[in-house]
Amino acid sequence: MKKTFTVSFILVIFILIISPLRIFAQADIHFSQFYETSILRNPALTGVFAEDYKLSAIYRDQWSSISNPFVTTLVSVETHIHVTQEATDFVSFGLLAYYDKAGSIDRKILSVYPAINYNKSLEDEHNSYLSVGFTGGYMQYSFDPSKATFNNQYVNNAYNSANPSGENLPNSKLGMWDLGAGVNFNSSTGQSNQVTYVIGASGYHFTQPKNSYYKDPSIVMDMRWNINGAMNGMLNEDIAFQLQGNYAIQGSFSEIIGGGLIGWNRSTEGNEPIFSLFGGLFYRFQDAIIPTIKIRYKDYAFGISYDVNVSTLKAATSMRGGYEISLFKTGLFHEVDGPAKKVLCSNFY
């Protein structure tokens, strides 16, 4: 009875996450491979993996078919340590940084977010953990005023950069501090715990940083609220599946994205996967269909996805949204045996 309730509860939550609610856009940066950006998605997901560390890099290029592209690069590192040698509780640490550049005047965002996450073991039988995470970082917005053009600089329909703009431009750089927090529950189910799942919620921009180049105190960054859910398991000895969903809302903007991957594993005699090939499809509601491929060899993983634009912009973009590439490395600091070898938590590849 308990297992039936748990599975039903998770399925209901997952359906709610990816259900067709209205979407406008998301003010913060976003990724199609959103499930690989733990600290930006929910700081309570920091370090929730079986190995000792994870190194990540993601590159995204969007809208190059209609304008100067939106280019985003993200790097992160995550690790965790046991609270004591005997206890199954552990503390995770992470550091994420991203650089975003867009538009003809090179609007840029540079952000750095460290994170800490405490993971409390609730039930060893199902590897259940309740995690509470925090992140606080610094963001810098900037643009290049020399690349801006104004009406006053056009004479007889001809542009001349020597003509005065007639504008009183503000400081081209804007810095702000940010704070976010989240909670997450992860566990497993099935006769041999072959299905793992996570569900969580988080919030960002609790400080509501002022977001005006003209230092207008009434213009602040809206808080962003996020709900995350995922399920991962084996259909048989070789075939695995992964479901992911995310809902984010920030002011009048919202984003819903969900989908899944199915993959084939080639394992060693010890049942450790040495090679995995995954393929699948994600959907960002009213925006893009996202075919995705992921390859994993030992401790390395490579992913590539492409946004097939289906929004009202598809006539201008010819359905070309943009591509995204990810690269990951996981591993152990040293090989050990016994209870200290692994952290009992969900492992999503």
Higher pLDDT, 144 or 132: 132
Higher pLDDT, 345 or 147: 147
pLDDT of 180 reads: 97
Higher pLDDT, 39 or 105: 39
The structural domains of the chain, with segments of one domain joined by +, span: 2-341
- CATH number for 2-341 (one of 3.40.50.300, 3.40.630.10, 2.40.160.40, 1.50.10.20): it is 2.40.160.40
What is the distance between the alpha carbons of residues 197 and 187, in angstroms, rounded to a whole number?
A: 6
State how far Cα 276 lies from the chain centre. 22
Number of Cβ within a 10 Å radius of residue 218: 6
Q: Which amino acid type is present at position 45? A: L
pLDDT of 63 reads: 67
What is the distance between the alpha carbons of residues 228 and 216, in angstroms, rounded to a whole number?
A: 34
Note the helical H segments in 147-286. none
Residues in the chain: 349
* Contact assessment for residue 221 and residue 253, using Cβ atoms and an 8 Å cutoff: no
pLDDT of 17 reads: 40
User: Pairing mode, if any, of strands 288-297 and 239-250?
Assistant: unpaired
User: Pairing mode, if any, of strands 239-250 and 158-159?
Assistant: unpaired
**Residue owning tokens 């492409």:** 306
- CA 199, 203, 107, 151 torsion-angle sign: positive
Q: For the whole model, what pTM was predicted? A: 0.83
What is the distance between the alpha carbons of residues 45 and 49, in angstroms, rounded to a whole number?
A: 9
Backbone angle region of 152, left / alpha / beta, with phi > 0 → left and psi within -120 to 50 → alpha? alpha
Averaged pLDDT, 247-267: 93
Q: Tell me if residue 17 falls in helix, strand or coil.
A: helix
* Contact assessment for residue 220 and residue 209, using Cβ atoms and an 8 Å cutoff: yes
Higher pLDDT, 125 or 197: 197
Question: Model confidence over 215-251: pLDDT tens digits?
Answer: 888 889 999 999 999 999 988 888 999 999 999 999 9
Higher pLDDT, 10 or 305: 305
Confidence at 64, pLDDT banded by 50, 70, 90: low
For 55, residues 6+ apart whose C-beta sits below 8 A from its C-beta are 76, 77, 328, 329, 330
**Residue owning tokens 């406008």:** 24
Question: Model confidence over 8-32: pLDDT tens digits?
Answer: 444 444 444 443 333 333 468 889 9
Question: Model confidence over 148-194: pLDDT tens digits?
Answer: 887 877 887 888 777 777 777 778 899 999 999 999 999 998 777 78
DSSP secondary structure code for residue 38 in this structure: H
pLDDT of 159 reads: 80
What is the distance between the alpha carbons of residues 95 and 76, in angstroms, rounded to a whole number?
A: 6
CA distances from 107 to 6, 164, 217, 301 (A): 46, 22, 21, 31
* Contact assessment for residue 239 and residue 251, using Cβ atoms and an 8 Å cutoff: no
Confidence at 309, pLDDT banded by 50, 70, 90: confident
Copy the structure tokens of residue 59. 């590159």
Number of Cβ within a 10 Å radius of residue 124: 9
Q: Which amino acid type is present at position 334? A: H
Copy the structure tokens of residue 5. 């309730």
pLDDT of 83 reads: 86
